[in-house]
Structure 1
Amino acid sequence: MEQLKDTLFYDGSFNGFLSLLYEVEARNLTIEGIQKKQGQQELLFIDTSFIPTELKKARSVWNSLRSKNYGALKLLYFAFLSEEQNIEWKLFQFYQQLIGNVCLEKNGMCVSDHAHIEQLANSVEKEKWAIERKLFIDHSGDSLSITTIEPMYNILPLISKFFRTRYKEQEWVIYDSNRSFGLHHRNGTMAFTTRPLDQLKPIFSEKDPGSPTLDRSKKMDTLEQQSMGKRSQKARLIQAVA
């Protein structure tokens, strides 16, 4: 029997969103909205309407979409990173139309809805290209290089592969000042750091040859980040979209 839930909540991550898509389909839910969880206190009031992130479920949705329509999957991911208000609901409708074979005119979506999703995705991709083309990491000294950017969109997950390849021998941090987190590379290992910018140099400058100076509070454990160390896998994960 179909279950009705007015609004579902998730943690705000892309893997969390994919997990939500999985649960809606698996449990045959009918929903009227999607919102980000704003903190632990709010979780007390949303009860079972909160969908936790589960990488296995997120990977299942990712691989299913990729096999059906890679172009639509790329639009979904890039548009999500635009962080536009209520983008989750628009992308949820996108997904429902795609898996239901409704209005399959352009990437599985009606033309009127598709145009806005495509515009958002293109804007995100253009900023990704611009950052990759213009950003230079200075390694004139021996210390850790920290480069700050202020992108309009959440493009750090998209540029990680490019800069890891380009500056693979150096240690560096690219820090998104607008979102207060950074991408840290050292010895071929990538990690997100949520340390405040003014604390990065003291933390990362104390280098212990026996252990990497990664911010262990937020290791890269999402699908797109796992793919960095698993190139031999046949199924490329989210990072491969970039």
Structure 2
Amino acid sequence: MEDGKLTVRAVERALDIMLCFTGATELTLTEIASRVDLHKSTVHRLLASLEGKGFIMRDAATDKYRLGYRLWELSANLSKEGDPGIILLPEMERLRDQLGETISLYVQDGLLRVRIQAVQSNQAIRRVAPVGARMPLYVGASSKVLVAFAEPALHEKLLASADWPTGLDQQAFLQQLSDTKLAGFATSVEEREPGAAAVSAPVLDRGGRLVAALAVSGPANRLTLEVMQEQAPLIMEAARRMGTMLR
């Protein structure tokens, strides 16, 4: 039993190392060890195993690690059927061409939201939205949408989370959720990062179940509250069309 626990722990640690690369292309051994909070000798052994299986590559010139080609082999066999990130991409591109800003699609994963698809703005000054980025559910336009249109149990779990920021008023947050549900969309201005703004609407399937949050984001000096209010009907209509495309 003890050997089994050690094996599972090794798997969890290896997966934690892989997840370090969701926000970075290359990392040193020291950087990885710091992110997973493990001794460098332990991380080095795990990296050697991952490298041996092709999941991690090491650049001998820089002594940095990056994701290996084996992941491409696995991703080639991902099922595209029913994947909203694939199905809704053409509509996202159309909305980007219509509004000129970056378009993202988010889904809830526990107490986080994950960007599963993005179409970058073609403007010189734009907000870059990396696919796979994970963000907390208590801040941002898409977070408000994902929580407002979710089951009440998620509200309770989020408010009771140990990660809830001490300076964030829960009653004000609940009021934002109520306003979002009533309006059918949410906005945010510099809530998560300085200089950025976003407006988001829910994508509901034909049964009325929440699938994802569709978001338009860009510089706050371009996406003012007035502009976002004007664009909201277009975004909600795009989200409605997307919902009809999903089974």
Alignment TM-score, normalising by the size of structure 2 = 0.25
Please identify which structure carries the higher strand content: 2
Alignment TM-score, normalising by the size of structure 1 = 0.25
